[in-house]
Amino acid sequence: MSLGFEILARDGAARVGRLTTAHGAIDTPAFMPIGTAGTVKAMTPEGVAATGARIVLGNTYHLMLRPGAERIAALGGLHRFMNWPHAILTDSGGFQVMSLKALRTIGEEGVAFRSHLDGSRHLLTPERSIEIQHLLGADITMAFDECAPFPAERDTIEASVERTLRWAERSRAAFTPRPGHGIFGIVQGGVHADLRQRAAVRLVEIGFDGYAIGGLAIGESQATTFAMVENDVPMLPADRPRYLMGVGKPADLVGAVKRGVDMFDCVVPTRSGRTGQAFTREGALNLRNARHADDPAPLDPLCRCPACTGFSRAYLHHLTKAQEILASMLLTQHNLTYYADLMADLRTAITKGRLSAFQLSETNP
């Protein structure tokens, strides 16, 4: 296997692991901050690393359009381009292309689309997606897939799954193995357990370095998401990392870890930070709320981030109401620190065999 993955502890279905890449090791369960366009919004690379993150997510679709994969490669690859020395996982671009709807046409070869930036025409195929991710220098490449909408008719989902499996074979064939780099396959199938099982079986037959649970967190309930995770996990190899895409809020992460998931990404902590919401050990806080205007307390007295160690809720409320850029910077770093610490606490609970007793504040979404 091009990537190293070792299971260090188990507690029920949950496990603590270590994923080794060309740019360092990641302790799992792990949350990956989203750096779609080569940056985590409102954060410096040093700030992201200070939260505890050792892997971020970039995106094929956005980077191919601007500034261009070949340009990034000529400048030394995405790690050097964005000054991030740790691991990078790149999304294949499939989800973004599918979301264009009126601007794209899906065919067996790939997806023809017009750029949302300038209307230029492009064809993204499995081979081109893998090539772009190689040019970027991603430690973890994602197979090109089709994420069907929710809700959708079963026939539509089934056709999408079969196409995704054919694209998975092409993606795997196009990937160039090298030490410290790997490719993940993506399980699709919507909320249809049998289709998801079919997809998982075929992906395992093709053989990937890790497996993503995709096609969820796009409108279904949390209970349905968890049910599909419980459906998928037993079908996937125990010695490979499992990645639940696009999830989520703190309670989603805890529930998925208890069901055997190792890796996560989501816009929630960074987007919330830019809109005045902070996740804390006592629950989620809306810094726009007037009740914080005279509060000298920190956001979270147990948090190690600059927002909590240097500023009061009153000041953060002021920055948020004044729409100062510093509000986005401080609250984003706080939220990413909270997520990183949550993952660390889950790893500790698993190692000590205490995960069943692990609970979030009832006010934390």
Q: How far is CA 225 from CA 36, 89, 164, 258, 359, in A?
A: 24, 23, 20, 13, 19
Residue 129: what residue type? S
Find the angle CA(204)-CA(154)-CA(163) to the nearest 5 degrees: 45
Question: For the residues of 7-65, what is the DSSP string, one character each?
Answer: EEEEETTEEEEEEEETTEEEEESEEE-B-TTSS-TT--HHHHHHTT--EEEEEHHHHHH
Given the residues 91, 145, 209, 341, the one annotated as active site: 91
Choose, from 11, 209, 232, 265, the residue flagged as catalytic: 265
Token pair of 342, please?
């949550």
Spatial distance between the Cα atoms of 43 and 287, rounded to a whole number of angstroms: 19
Residue 327 CA neighbour count, 13 Å, CB half:
22
Residue-by-residue DSSP string for 256-278: HHHTT--EEE-SHHHHHHHTTEE
Q: 3-state class of 241 per DSSP?
A: coil
User: Catalytic annotation on 341?
Assistant: no
295 a catalytic residue: no
Q: How far apart are CA 223 and CA 187, in angstroms?
A: 18
Active site residues: 91, 265
